[in-house]
Structure 1
Amino acid sequence: MTSLSAPITIVRPEIIEFGVGVAGRLGKWAAGQGFARVLVVSDAFNASRVGILELPGEVTVFSQVKPEPDTDNLDLVLAAADAAQADLIVGFGGGSAMDLAKLASVLSGSAQTLRDVVGAGKVAHRRRAGLAQVPTTSGTGSEAGIRALVTDPLTQAKLAVESIHMLADIAVIDPGLTFTVPAATTAATGVDAMAHCVEAFTNRKAHPMIDLYAIEGVRLVGRYLARAVADGSDAEARAGLSLASLYGGFCLGPVNTAGGHALAYPLGTRWHVAHGAANALIFPHVLAFNTPAATQKTAQVIEALNLNAGADQASVFEAAFGFCAGLGIEMRLSALGVPETDLGVMADDAFAIRRLLDNNPRDLGRGDILSIYQAAY
């Protein structure tokens, strides 16, 4: 683990509005900034409630965001941004909408293509359009970060872009926008937020400055997720999850995730399993696998979730599995339509995601990954 004296860079959106009922503050901010042509990047459901943002000027809504968006979906967003000549781009939805908004903000009107900017620090110029993020789920924390991912439909691999130029000017986090999220989605996205925090907390690059947010994010999920699943209109529980998601986003920039997300990605790219559901299914397996290399921090995670477990892998797995299953999350790959014959290919895909696996506190070999998939099947 990284020592307290190690250098670290922390970035945040310049303005973060947080609280039930703050969605309309985006419009007031945008008007004060003089924005006149706004593109909202959204899915079909959230497109129907763009009015709650009270945006000024000419507002164009792109409503075709797909779960786990691919490069074709990004091309459509870029065409919409160019046609609208947008001076403000708003991501309004889950992580997919916010990631596409980030990419549109730096690629629209630029000579660079997506392929030019894949990786870290390759966006050449500061964006010309403003960028605002408004999450409507509590999971990705994308509103706070500088990374965006889309899937290459040919290789079924995630293309990750990281750039300070994709940091939002403003993030408006209104937990009231999450009240309508179904229980199953609430459960899965809540575990995704927790996984961001846990993977950063137990990471080889873990840093005390980020640990503070990470462990508090885990506590918030442990305290509020079951309540929000049971009653979606529980404002305090929804706010707790929104804050946990934001803290998870704070973890992603300077530290990032690790093995859990690497193993979850092939479920989404190959079999279109929702990102939160994929992470929730994988979470107990990787937490238990990593226990020998992160014993003390794993114990802190278990305590933060208000669970009981010993220091052994089997006990950790049982506690974490019970937490996820108790939320109604499907915990078997076979029940999600993943064929057993594809596990080896998925293991190859996951093993290739070195940007995350190299962060894992314990080396995950290709055989280890396959064993986890088989145990999860």
Structure 2
Amino acid sequence: MLWNFNFNLPTTIEFGNGNVKNIGKRAKELGGNKALLITDKGLAQTGILQKVIDSLDQEDVNYIVFDETTPNPKDVDCQRVYQQFKDSNIDLLIGIGGGSSMDTAKAIGTLLTHGGELKDRYGVNLLEREITPLICIPTTSGTGSEVTTGSVITDTVTKQKEAILDIKLAPKLAILDPELTLTLPKSITAATGMDALTHAIEAYTCNVSQPISDALSLYAIELVAKHLPLAVKNGNDIEARENMLLASLIAGIGFDNSDLGAVHAMAEPLGGLYDTPHGVANAVFLPHVFEFNIPSNLEKHAIIATKLGANKEGASLEETAYEGVVLLKELASKIGIPDFRDLNNVNPKDFSFLAEGASVHLCTQSNSRKLSRSDYLKLFQNAYEAVPQH
């Protein structure tokens, strides 16, 4: 194979237990005089936000707190926050939490530097300048948004998720402190962990994969397979937490330099319509898309299966690859991911709308096997009709 690829990592990464205490110094180094802290109310009550504030106070960095971020961030909320703070001389953003807080921070940064409306920036490379300097502090192990050049926002008019994709969106700094993930509830640990696994699998199998992202993705798959069940079982297992945060990070770097595929093309319309947690949506579709994609690259899917634990002696590549489908279903069941039919508000009458949204999603172009709208419709139906795993 003759490789021809680019690899970017515009974000500086600091990884280690307790290093959230450095946020004040890092904010000052980035020239921050007045920071906008973007988080959610649940996280604000855990004490994590206070650790950030204490560090900023120690370095005399001024700040404003916005703690009303919601899951699957909405365009109208981002516009409202921008209007609220656009005249506040904000020169630094700090996103604290899961992907929703970090994506909201990126969207607000876009508005602070470009004005107008978010819908004018949906697409690839439509930003004219870098956004307001951004520091991201993830408290979940799933999205990798702290090192990605994208922000996913729900358009409240179309009920579709849209994306701003541009290297000018990249955070300046990612501070990853595994201790901040110790308080994460089991359900969110499970869902975000499956999100990281989906990122790694899709980055590795998509038709624009490249060798550096492949290496990162395979390591991330291995880490999730080993440590996600442990992190769900015992949230205080710091080794499992550390390895899951690392898996999320490197999977994020991987897919940001590769792409995703049909799982995300299905999950994002579902989240846009029903407000389904993104990691859960990925988890319920992952085994079905994985099975659909196997014929496109037997070897890669078999390799993934071995990383997940397939080790049947004498098995062919095909047998090993299909064992991966079973292992993905078993993993989701083991950590308590609900079945598709049990998710709130899911109605088969909406599958045609969802299939249409998936068929025009940007990730569809990168999926390892071509899909039509009818293929997506069948995948939604298959996932809904699947034998319950619980």
Q: Deviations over 1:273-312 (max 9, x none)?
A: 1000000011100011101112111111111122357625
CA distance in 1, matches of 2:374, 2:345: 22
**Does structure 2 retain, via aligned residues, the 8 Å contact 1:126–1:165?**
yes
Decide whether aligned partners of structure 1 residues 28 and 374 sit closer, same or farther in structure 2, where only a CA change above 3 A counts. Answer: same
Equivalent position to 1:281, from 260, 281, 284: 284
Does 2:380 correspond to 1:376? no
When structure 1 is superposed on structure 2, of 231-240 and 4-13 the one drifting more is 4-13
Write the mapping of 1:84-163 to structure 2, written as runs, cut at 5 A: 84-127=88-131, 129-163=132-166
State the secondary structure of the residue aligned to 1:61.
Answer: strand
Alignment of 1:1-377 (within 5 A): 3-13=1-11, 15-48=12-45, 49-53=48-52, 54-55=55-56, 56-127=60-131, 129-307=132-310, 311-312=318-319, 315-353=323-361, 355-377=362-384
Task: Give the drift of 1:60.
Answer: 0.6
SS of equivalent to 1:137: coil
Q: In the TM superposition, what is the alpha-carbon distance from 1:112 to its structure 2 partner?
A: 4.5
Write the deviation string for residues 90-144 of structure 1: whole angstroms up to 9, x where unpaired: 11111111011112123214344322221111111233x3210000100000000
Amino acid at match of 2:244: L
Structure 2: which 5+ residue stretches go unaligned? 385-390
CA contact 1:62–1:80 (8 Å) conserved in 2: no
Distance across 1 between alignment mates of 2:41 and 2:229: 27
**Which amino acid is the alignment partner of residue 51 of structure 1?**
Q
SS in 2 for 1:358: helix
2: distance between equivalents of 1:317 and 1:105? 40
CA pair 101-176 structure 1, distance change in 2 beyond 3 A:
same
CA contact (8 A) 1:41 1:77 kept: no
**Cα separation, 2, equivalents of 1:96 and 1:303:** 32
- Mapped to 2, the partners of 1:144 and 1:98 lie a distance apart of 10
Aligned-pair distance for 1:87? Answer: 0.9
Q: Sequence identity, in percent?
A: 33
Partners of 1:316 and 1:289 lie apart in 2 by: 12
- Give the counterpart letter for 2:340 in structure 1: R
- Deviation per CA, 1:130-177, whole angstroms, max 9, x where unpaired? 210000100000000110010111111112111121111110011111
Cα deviation for residue 84 of structure 1 reads 2.9
Q: Say which SS state the counterpart of residue 19 (structure 2) adopts.
A: coil
Aligned residues: 372
Q: Aligned partners of 1:369, 1:124: CA distance in 2, in Å? A: 35
SS at match of 2:64: strand
Residue by residue over 1:306-330, the C-alpha shift from the partner in whole angstroms, topping out at 9 and shown as x without a partner, is 2357625754422221121111111
For residue 61 of structure 1, what is the amino acid of its counterpart?
Answer: V
2:27–2:61 contact (8 Å) kept in structure 1:
no
Gaps (5+ residues) in structure 1?
A: none
| Counterpart AA for 2:233 | A
Q: Aligned AA for 1:292?
A: P
Query: Aligned partners of 2:329 and 2:121: how far apart in 1?
Result: 38
For residues 251 and 84 of structure 2, what CA distance do their matches in structure 1 show?
A: 30
Seen in structure 2, the aligned counterparts of structure 1 residues 236 and 321 have a Cα distance that, compared at 3 Å, is: same
Partner Cα distance (1:190, 1:29) in 2:
28
Return the alpha-carbon distance in structure 1 between the equivalents of residues 108 and 343 of structure 2.
Answer: 36
Structure-2 separation of matches of 1:149 and 1:141:
12
TM-score, normalised via structure 2 length: 0.91
Give the letter for the 2:50 counterpart.
Answer: G
Find the aligned partners of 1:4 and 1:141 in 2 and give their Cα distance. Answer: 29
Query: Aligned-residue CA RMSD in angstroms?
Result: 1.7
- Tell me whether 79-88 or 295-304 shows the greater mean CA deviation: 79-88
Q: Could you say if the C-alpha distance between residues 4 and 243 of structure 1 is closer, same or farther in structure 2, counting changes exceeding 3 Å?
A: farther
- Which residue identity does 2:165 align to in structure 1? E
How far does the alpha carbon of each residue in 1:172-224 deviate from its partner, in whole angstroms, 9 at most, with x for none? Answer: 01111111111111111101101001001001001112101010000010110
1:19-57 Cα offsets, whole Å, 9 max, x none, are 111111111211234422110111112234322121242
Q: Distance in 2 between matches of 1:188 and 1:277?
A: 5
SS at match of 1:349: helix
Partners of 2:310 and 2:324 within 8 A in 1: no
For residues 20 and 84 of structure 2, the distance between their equivalents in structure 1, rounded to whole angstroms, comes to: 24
Whether the aligned pair in 1 keeps the contact of 2:3 and 2:210 (CA below 8 Å) is no
Aligned to 2:387: none
What CA distance in whole angstroms lies between the structure 2 residues aligned with 1:68 and 1:91?
15
SS at 1:330's partner residue? coil
Counterpart residue type for residue 331 of structure 2: F
Kept in 2: contact 1:195–1:279 (CA 8 A): yes
Amino acid at match of 1:337: N
- The answer (yes or no) to whether the contact 1:144–1:171 under 8 Å persists in 2 is yes
